[in-house]
Amino acid sequence: MHEFSIAANIVRKLTEVAREHDRKLLGATVAVGPMSTVVPELLSEAWKYVIKNTELEGAVLHIDRVPIRARCRECDAVTEGYDPFVKCQACGSMNLQIESGFELKIISAELADDTENAHPAR
């Protein structure tokens, strides 16, 4: 279950972003491809656990599942799908060049408005 270390990494990066802008992080979107070996459900669970008692507590993680895109080496057809064991839709070959689907990246971060008590003590 490596989702915990992945979640910890994401939290570290987002904490930097929030500090840079001096805002509270409300949520973030992460793109996860089927070839990334990340189980989205486990990442969600790990996220909630990792942000507990941190400045990111309460922030929502949205997971955007992106499909695999594979080009067939036999017939050049392009197949998209969410199954890591992808087969060519046109000819059934498994001799495919995976063009995308390995994604594991932060695509957006949602920060609180400046006016919204980022510094309630001031």
Nearest distance, CB of residue 87 and Zn ion, angstroms: 8
Residue numbers of the site for Zn ion (CB under 5 A)? 72, 74-75, 77, 88, 90-91, 93
Least separation in angstroms between CB 2 and Zn ion: 33
CB of 77: closest distance to Zn ion in angstroms?
5
Closer of 58 and 84 to Zn ion (Cβ): 84
How many CB atoms are closer than 10 A to CB 29? 15
- Of 75 and 107, which CB lies nearer to Zn ion in the complex structure? 75
Q: What is the 3-state secondary structure (H, E, C) of 14-77?
A: HHHHHHHHCCCEEEEEEEECHHHCCCHHHHHHHHHHHCCCCCCCCCEEEEEECCEEEEECCCCC
Cα(8)–Cα(26) distance, integer angstroms:
17
Q: Based on CB atoms, which residue is closest to Zn ion, 30 or 72?
A: 72
